[in-house]
Structures are given as structure tokens and as C-alpha cells.
Structure 1
Amino acid sequence: MSPEDAITLVDKLLSPYRLTAIQEVVFRRCWQGSTYAQIAASEGYDADYVRVTGSRLWQKISQVLGERVTKKNIHAVLRQQAYQLHQPATPDPWWPGADSSDTTFPGSPLPLGSSLYIERPPVENQAMGELLKPGALLRIRAPERWGKTSLVNRLVAQAQKLNFKIVRLNFRQADAGVLANFDKFLRWFCANIAQQLKLTAQLDDVWNIDLGSKVSCTNYMQSSVLNPLHQPLLLVIDDLQAVFEHPVMAQEFLPMLRVWHEEAKNLTEWGYLRLLVAYATEAYIPLQIHQSPFNVGLPLRLPAFTLEQTKQLAQRYHIPWDQGLTSLHTLVEGHPYLVHLALYNLSVHKMDLTRLINEAPQQSGIYSDHLRSYLAIFEAEPTLARTFYRVIEQDTATELEPMAAYRLESMGLVTLVGNTATASCNLYRQYFGGRLGVESSDYAV
């Protein structure tokens, strides 16, 4: 936030009063990091006068906001106020004007305004609060069909209301030839950013073979994208794990993101960049601790639904709560997609709850397509099947080799704690326990 934007916000908070000339001088210089002594010396005021003016100003703002405001916390306080002022005036800001009859078949991102979006506090507010910080790096991690894209869409919508420029990239859209060549990939990366911002790419003007692809890409971002902007740019990278599958490229690209994040401490233009990366699981490739983007910024793991959140969703589907729904929640252990699919069938197709739960791990159950899609992967990859069977066969957490852990967590089949894994829900234990261990000798361990 610029000093002018901060002053405008303070005037709005203090309305109908406005900052006096001396208050505006003191506020602007304090915002920029000056001490009272420095302000007095450079502006020609008495030092005690400046100190008293500042003290009274913070007291006035504190009274209006109902919280203590000082020179040291004014940036954080006003960032939060700016965010709150742009929230829709509805009980739930993540589904304003929602239609309670929304019964879209589960599996796709929930549209903005859907009543079926369940907020998972404090994730949403923490995420938006982080994106307000110059040079932010927000990392959202969750398995497939866990609600990442629905959350990202809402963060993007909020950022647009705050006058952010938006660029969204999905690395799964890059051609195989692009992902196989680091220089081509970075040119694809920059060209997509330029296209979405309606810039003339002119990559050849800054691309220097002697400097290398990473420096050329960084120079392009700084000189051609960030320098002309003078406003925040939210760069959203979906399916970051696509680069994990190309270890040589990942070992070059991921440290570059970290450098961009850290440059915000040194250069104003890099403070405009806010990085939001979404991925299913951590990289399984080795990265030096000082190069990895996975130990900086704000990490947010999107959790499973709590029992209370499942109850909220049932209410929005107009389904009365009973003990059977508690059993359903336990069966899928709050897996968002599996909860949605069950409640959809109970609401739209009027299925019997007891029958739904009994048939859930069977071929006749509502989850059969979802489960068979994983079974097809296991048929093609017997080693992965044997590894997963070892996880569900044991009562205690199982240690996995990195590649298997990466694959199974990204599919949402296991929950990782350190290097050990457990099956992510009882449904998977029941369905795959019989099929991987008994029905096919190909999977026998």
C-alpha cells in the first residue's frame, strides 16, 4: 500500500474529520519508516511537537478502530482494514448472494456465489491477508478434488476487487516439448504472462543466451512486467507439481521463484509481485534448503471437512442431520469431494442413507467411478499398487520412498506425516483392501 493510499484510507476511517497538514506529514514519513527526530530535522518542526502530533494521531485512529495502533503496527492494521472494507456485506463473504438451491454435480470447481462452498477457517482469511503483503508467496497444498481451485477462484475475485492485476497459469497446459526444455518453458511462461496482461512480449529484446534463461526471465519480469505496473500483480500457478515430474527443470525453476520472493525486500518493483502457487504434494526432488520455495512464504494445507462443516453442507443441501450422516463423515473422513457426492445423491436422487453407506465400497456404490479410476492406475502400475496395499494393510503409519509418497499423496489416497503414510479414509481401506490384496494375484504382496 502506498503512503497516498494509506492516507486516503485513514481519512475514510476518520470521516467526517480529515488529517491536518502536519498530521499528514507525520503520517506519511512514519509510514516510510522515518523517526520523529528525522521528521523534525528534515521538515523544520520542533521535535516534541512532531512526537505529540504522532502520539495523538495513533490514539485517534485507535479509538476509531477499537484496537491499539502504533507506528510499528500501522502497516499491518491498515492492510487488514483495506481487506475488510472490500468484503461483501453478507453473512458469508465467500458465497455472496448464494442460491440455496444450487445442486451442481460435484467434481468441478464451485462457481462464485455457490452456497455449497464451505469456508474452512482460518484458511481463507489467512490466505487473503498474506496476499496483501508486498512480495507475498502463498503456497496452497491439497490433494486432487480437495477444493484448491474453488479457494483460488475466490482469492482471485477478492484480489480483483482490490485492484490487483491477475495472471493465471496452469502448468498442465504446457506442451510436453515445452516442459522438456527449460529455455522453451521460461519463454512460454513469460509469453503467457505478457498475453494475459496485454503486453507486447518482445522477449528477444531481453533474452540473452550469455546470461542464461533464468536471468533473462527475471530481467523480463522486472523491466517489462513489474516496472510499468505500479500496482500489485497476483501471479497464480496451478498444478505446480507438473514441474516436479521434470527434476532438472524443477531444480532450476523453483529456486527462481524463491529469489523473486526475496527480491521484494530489496527492490520496490518486486514488491508488486504476489505469488500464489497451488499443488497437490511437495516436490520429491532434492532442493538445497536455501533454494527451496517450500520453506518461505505462507504454507496453507487445505484440511478435510470437520464434522461441523459436513453438517453445514448437509444443511445447504436441505438434508436433516442424523446419526447416519455422522457415520458417512467417518467413512470418508471429511474428504470434501466424497462428502459432496454423497450429499448430492441424498438430496437430488433421494437415495436411502443406509443403502448409500453400505454400498459405498462396492461396485454398485456412488463412488464406483471415482474408485475405478484409481484401480485403473494401479493396474497399469503394479509397484504403486503393492506400495498402497502395504499402507492399508498395516495399522501403523508406513514409511514410503519419496516417489511413491509423492504419487499417492497427490492422488489423495494417503496422508503423509513426515516420511510415513496412512490411508486417507476408511472408504479407501475397505475398497482397495479387498481388491489389491485378494482379488488379483498381480497385486499380491
Structure 2
Amino acid sequence: MDKLLQWFCASVGKSLGLSNQLADYWDEVLGSKSNTTDYFENYLLAEAEVDSPLVLGLDEVDMLFQYPEIASEFFSLLRTWYEKAKYGDSRSYIWQNLRLVVVYATEDDAWLNLHESFNVGLPIALPEFNQEQVQDLARCYGLNWDADQVAQLMSVVGGYPYLVRTALHQIYSQDVTLDQLLPKSATQETVYGEDVGAQFLNRQQNRQLYTVFAQQTSYIKSA
């Protein structure tokens, strides 16, 4: 945990154009979370030359879910910062200049065990795309698709944002046509293999969810 949080502090500092001052703030007697909070409060947030609140975006934090102890500690740290800004003391104004944007997927059942660390702030769930949104996204990739082509893709992947984006990216960057991509899209040998395979392993740990997942996979393969 100590190494992770030191890397975290150094990475944020580098993004802000600040030198690494961990040696001056890291006290081995104190815990790593306390040191990280002190580093942010007294150095990163104090020295950052910004005219508006600092937005710290953390993407794909669900990668930590496979390490429950580390995830629990890290997310409790973020929760502490949130509470410092909202319910803290005379130094709360410092934390009010920090905006946390935490992005994670909920396919991994482990997130349920960490839910207490997420029940603060404003949750924003990304819903499935509708046909118009998929068509707009296709245009962003330079694909001038008609409604039939959009419907053909959605008949296999629905409006699931990750799968839609992955398909469009593959068609755009690898010169694969829609007709070439779709017949294989539900198998583990294709562009979706890593995602489908990971979900398969996760669902095996929960028999009820696995049954639903197997039914959905069978439906996609027969489509």
C-alpha cells in the first residue's frame, strides 16, 4: 500500500508540474494514508497553480477490485477526503478545491463488497446507448452508417457502451467491415474475447449470475 500511494502522489504531482517532495512529507511513523493526505493538503493542493478547482480523474479503478484489502484502503482514503471537504475543520477550504471523478465498471461482483466506500458524492450511471447515440458515435469515427447498419450492430451488442465503442474502434482502425466483425463478435477469439472471458470467470464465482450470463451468451451466439 505504501508504494502504491507514493506512486499515486508522485504521479499527480508530475501532472501538475510539481517536483517530487515525498522525502520531505513521508513519515515512516505515520500510516501511508495519513502521509498521502498530508502530501495533498500541504503540498499538492497548496502549491498547484490553478484558478479553479482541481479535477482528479481516476479511470478503471475497478482494476483494484481483485485486491480487496488494497481497494478497501484506497477507497476509504478517497472517502476521507470527501468528508474533509464537506464536514471538516478550518482547513476544509483546501479540500473543497479538489474534485474527484472516480470511474469504475460494476461487472465485477467484488465491487458490491466495497460499496460502503462508494456511497458518497454523486453517482452517475452510464446507461446503454440508444440507436441515435450509436449512430452519432459512429460518425465520430468517420463512419457514415445508416439506421440498418446501426441496428445490425446493436442486435449483437445492444447499447452497451464498451462493446459499441470497441466495435467502432476496430472497424475504424483495423479496416474491418461490419459484416466481417459481427459473425465472430460473441466468441472469445475476437475483439470481445478479453472482456467476455473476464466476465465468464467472474460469474463462475456466483452461480445465479453465471446462469443469467450463460443464457445471454447463448442468445448472442445464436443471433
TM-score range (shorter-chain normalised) is: 0.7 to 0.9
Corresponding residue for residue 199 of structure 1: 18
TM-score, structure 1 as length reference: 0.39
1:297 aligns with 2:118: no
> Which of 195, 200, 211 is the aligned partner of 2:30?
211
Against the structure 1 CA distance between its residues 313 and 204, is the aligned structure 2 distance closer, same or farther, given a 3 Å change threshold? closer
Post-superposition offset of 1:263: 1.3
Per-residue deviation, residues 307-366 of structure 1 (Å, max 9, x unmatched): 2223434566223334x64344233212345545369759x9695x7xx39x83448x99
- Supply the distance in 2 between the matched residues of 1:430 and 1:298 (Cα, whole angstroms): 34
1:187 aligns with 2:11: no
Residue pairs, 1:11-410, within 5 angstroms: 182-229=1-48, 231=50, 232-265=53-86, 266=88, 267-281=92-106, 283-284=110-111, 286-287=113-114, 289=116, 292=117, 294-313=118-137, 317-322=143-148, 325-336=150-161, 338-339=163-164, 341=167, 345=171, 356=179, 360-362=182-184, 369-373=190-194, 384=204, 390-394=211-215
1:430 aligns with 2:220: yes
Mapped contact 1:314–1:321 kept (Cα < 8 A): no
Which residue identity does 2:102 align to in structure 1?
V
- Secondary structure, aligned partner of 2:17: coil
Against the structure 1 CA distance between its residues 188 and 428, is the aligned structure 2 distance closer, same or farther, given a 3 Å change threshold? farther
Mapped contact 1:234–1:274 kept (Cα < 8 A): yes
- Secondary structure, aligned partner of 1:298: coil
Which residue identity does 1:430 align to in structure 2?
I
Against the structure 1 CA distance between its residues 385 and 362, is the aligned structure 2 distance closer, same or farther, given a 3 Å change threshold? farther
TM-score, structure 2 as length reference: 0.72
Post-superposition offset of 1:230: 6.1
- Supply the distance in 1 between the matched residues of 2:94 and 2:137 (Cα, whole angstroms): 43
Which residue identity does 2:132 align to in structure 1?
E
Per-residue deviation, residues 279-318 of structure 1 (Å, max 9, x unmatched): 22275363484xx1x1111212222210222343456622
Against the structure 1 CA distance between its residues 367 and 308, is the aligned structure 2 distance closer, same or farther, given a 3 Å change threshold? farther
Against the structure 1 CA distance between its residues 429 and 389, is the aligned structure 2 distance closer, same or farther, given a 3 Å change threshold? farther
Post-superposition offset of 1:203: 1.7
Against the structure 1 CA distance between its residues 428 and 235, is the aligned structure 2 distance closer, same or farther, given a 3 Å change threshold? farther
Which residue identity does 2:145 align to in structure 1?
I
Post-superposition offset of 1:269: 0.9
- Secondary structure, aligned partner of 2:82: helix
Identify unmatched segments of 5+ residues in structure 2: none
- Secondary structure, aligned partner of 1:286: helix
Identify unmatched segments of 5+ residues in structure 1: 1-181, 395-422, 435-445
- Secondary structure, aligned partner of 2:80: helix
Mapped contact 2:60–2:105 kept (Cα < 8 A): yes
- Supply the distance in 2 between the matched residues of 1:327 and 1:304 (Cα, whole angstroms): 16
Which residue identity does 1:284 align to in structure 2?
W
Which residue identity does 1:297 align to in structure 2?
G
- Supply the distance in 1 between the matched residues of 2:80 and 2:46 (Cα, whole angstroms): 17
Mapped contact 2:57–2:102 kept (Cα < 8 A): yes
Mapped contact 2:62–2:111 kept (Cα < 8 A): no
Greater share of helix:
2
Greater share of strand:
1
Mapped contact 1:361–1:367 kept (Cα < 8 A): no
Which residue identity does 1:223 align to in structure 2?
N
Which residue identity does 2:133 align to in structure 1?
Q
- Supply the distance in 2 between the matched residues of 1:330 and 1:189 (Cα, whole angstroms): 41
Per-residue deviation, residues 396-426 of structure 1 (Å, max 9, x unmatched): xxxxxxxxxxxxxxxxxxxxxxxxxxx4xxx
Per-residue deviation, residues 92-133 of structure 1 (Å, max 9, x unmatched): xxxxxxxxxxxxxxxxxxxxxxxxxxxxxxxxxxxxxxxxxx
Corresponding residue for residue 45 of structure 1: none
Against the structure 1 CA distance between its residues 217 and 429, is the aligned structure 2 distance closer, same or farther, given a 3 Å change threshold? same
- Supply the distance in 2 between the matched residues of 1:319 and 1:233 (Cα, whole angstroms): 39
Q: For the pair shown, which has the larger CA radius of gyration, 1 or 2? A: 1
Per-residue deviation, residues 353-385 of structure 1 (Å, max 9, x unmatched): 7xx39x83448x999512444576689x59839
Mapped contact 1:307–1:326 kept (Cα < 8 A): yes
Post-superposition offset of 1:218: 0.6
Mapped contact 1:258–1:296 kept (Cα < 8 A): yes
Q: Percent identity?
A: 34
